[in-house]
Chains A and B, each alone.
Chain A
Amino acid sequence: MEYQWNWGVFLLPSAVNDGTYLDWMIAGLQTTLLLSLSAWVIALLLGAVVGVLRTVPHRGLAFGATAYVEMFRNIPLLVQLFFWYFVLPELLPAVAGNAFKALNPVAQQFVAAMVCLGLFTSARVAEQVRSGINALPRGQKNAGLALGLTLPQTYRHVMLPMAFRLVVPPLTSEFLNVFKNSAVCSTIGLLELAAQGRQLVDYTAQPYESFVAVTVAYLMINVVVMLLMRKVEVLVRVPGYLGGK
């Protein structure tokens, strides 16, 4: 039996009559992008804070930050996702748990996926921020302190402006990973790109077309993010450093 290729399948009206199958794919792409970008914002903010805390000369804070990173790095993403989606709402105080369960199902999936992906990625961002801070010459911190700045001021005005710029190139791969990891969220029923592709296989009997389309979409995301990050890298690079002017 010969396979019947039919790329026109995307223009057919969907089985439940809510537009074409192409609309399904676009909806999936939008969910993937929205989820990944919002998780990335969470990851950058939290990761910057935790990364800084890992380098401060305070045992309690540094230990807490290290525990945070190890926690998120040593448990598979899938298990973390199930934790946020299935477990935490049960354990929260009744008010918060019920508020979560009162959301519509799509919002529940999205919020759980966003928090999960954001925190998971923040641990990785924190590691990069930490190594960026540690890569600074020791003299910078000492010079800041010698000028009479307090330690927080030294971080704020001397070390972090440099460290954050040094960290941009290694963050590119973490940014790419957010988009790839977002595909895991299809397992809780969130209809992002991968899930839409799978759904199309069930509805259209055109598995090759839908999977090729989804794969190409991920490749395109990859290329766009890389080009974007290359621009950002040029913008923030530090003269005199490797890769600098």
Chain B
Amino acid sequence: MFGSYEFDWSSIPGSLSFLGQGLMVSLEITALAIVAGIVWGTLLAMARLSSIKPLAWAAAGYVNLFRAIPLVMVLLWFFLIVPKFLESFLGLPPGSDVRLASAMIGFALFESAYYAEIIRAGIQSVPRGQLAAAHALGMSYPQAMLHVVLPQAFRNMVPLLLTQAIILFQDTSLVYVSALADFFGAAYKVGDRDGRLVELVLFAGAVYFVLCFAASQAVRHFQRRLQRA
């Protein structure tokens, strides 16, 4: 079925360390965004469930806004627009390149909106009586959340959080628009340099597939064990 295309995989072995560095960048971004997403997402979820109305509205607005805009747009905002804003309004020296840091922060802010929704559902899955019981024991609200509600909520959410982490890892490929050398960016560069884009795109796709498929099978296995327990 293949046409006359002659494959030449020879540019991959020599570039493995460069591609490996790219993969490390992708994993670092993933880890950073997961940590930031869970911390900031938990705060957002608690704000959204808060009885202080303006706080709840602000959190709902944040989550709905980020979930309505494409990730590409968010990254472009934080890569092109926000740095300019910072330069002119905060008086940063023009030479200081904050674009990559800014894009990273934008990515984390975007992903935390998705985490916030998962965590909100997790908190709501804990029976109300748990909070009442904690209060009856004399715990303050922060203590009750930290020691009673959140541990149970997170236990319920683990599979969903992990699934979201796999999606997030795939999303990191979009930092391509911000010229950050992640795994896909590295693969594209090698392919472009050697005129071997076909091989490198196929290679990148295979690597993503193996990693994400293995991870999602592991999550499924873990989920089954959790259900049996």
User: Are A207's CB and B80's CB within 8 A?
Assistant: yes
Within 8 A of A (CB), among B1-45: 1-5
In the complex, whether A181 has a CB less than 8 A from a CB of chain B is yes
Contact status of A87 and B202, CB under 8 A, knowing A78-B173, A92-B3, A180-B70: yes
Q: Which residues of B contact A194 (CB under 8 A)?
A: 70, 72-73, 76
User: Are A211's CB and B184's CB within 8 A?
Assistant: no
Q: Which residues of B contact A80 (CB under 8 A)?
A: 205
Complexed CA–CA distance, A75 and B77 (Å): 25
Stretch at the interface among B119-127, B133-141, B149-157, B209-217: B209-217
Map CB proximity to B onto A84-98 as digits: 1 under 8 Å, 0 otherwise. Answer: 001100111110110
Complexed CA–CA distance, A90 and B200 (Å): 13
A-B pairs under 8 A by CB, number: 117
Residue numbers of B with Cβ under 8 A of A are 1-5, 65, 68-73, 76-77, 80-81, 84, 88, 166, 170-171, 173-174, 176-177, 184, 188, 197-198, 201-202, 204-205, 208-209, 212-213, 216
Complexed CA–CA distance, A180 and B213 (Å): 24
Complexed CA–CA distance, A71 and B213 (Å): 9
In the complex, whether A149 has a CB less than 8 A from a CB of chain B is no
User: Are B77's CB and A211's CB within 8 A?
Assistant: yes
4 A-B pairs with least C-beta separation: A183-B70, A74-B212, A76-B173, A76-B170
Contact status of A76 and B68, CB under 8 A, knowing A83-B201, A86-B197, A90-B3: no
User: Are B184's CB and A183's CB within 8 A?
Assistant: no
Q: Which residues of B contact A187 (CB under 8 A)?
A: 72, 176-177
Q: Which residues of A contact B209 (CB under 8 A)?
A: 71, 74-75
Complexed CA–CA distance, A18 and B133 (Å): 68
Cross-interface CB contact of B201 among A73, A87, A182, cutoff 8 Å: A87
In the complex, whether A3 has a CB less than 8 A from a CB of chain B is yes
Say how far B110's CB is from chain A's closest CB, in angstroms. 11
Q: Which residues of B contact A182 (CB under 8 A)?
A: 70
Q: Which residues of B contact A180 (CB under 8 A)?
A: 68-71
Interface of B is mostly: helix
Contact status of A183 and B72, CB under 8 A, knowing A93-B3, A211-B81: yes
User: Are B5's CB and A82's CB within 8 A?
Assistant: no
In the complex, whether A7 has a CB less than 8 A from a CB of chain B is no
Within 8 A of B (CB), among A165-205: 176, 179-184, 186-187, 194, 197-198, 201
User: Are A76's CB and B184's CB within 8 A?
Assistant: yes
User: Are A77's CB and B170's CB within 8 A?
Assistant: yes
In the complex, whether A25 has a CB less than 8 A from a CB of chain B is no
- Using CB atoms, name the residue of chain B closest to A96: B3
Say how far B33's CB is from chain A's closest CB, in angstroms. 15
User: Are B73's CB and A215's CB within 8 A?
Assistant: yes
User: Are B68's CB and A222's CB within 8 A?
Assistant: yes
Say how far A115's CB is from chain B's closest CB, in angstroms. 15
Q: Which of A70, A87, A94, A197 has the most CB of B within 10 A?
A: A87
Cross-interface CB contact of B205 among A70, A83, A94, cutoff 8 Å: A83
Q: Which of A181, A211, A215 has the most CB of B within 10 A?
A: A215
Say how far A184's CB is from chain B's closest CB, in angstroms. 6
Complexed CA–CA distance, A182 and B73 (Å): 11
Q: A73-B212, A194-B73, A201-B80 given; name 10 further pairs at CB < 8 Å.
A: A70-B216, A71-B209, A74-B208, A76-B171, A79-B205, A91-B5, A97-B3, A180-B71, A186-B177, A211-B81
Say how far B20's CB is from chain A's closest CB, in angstroms. 18
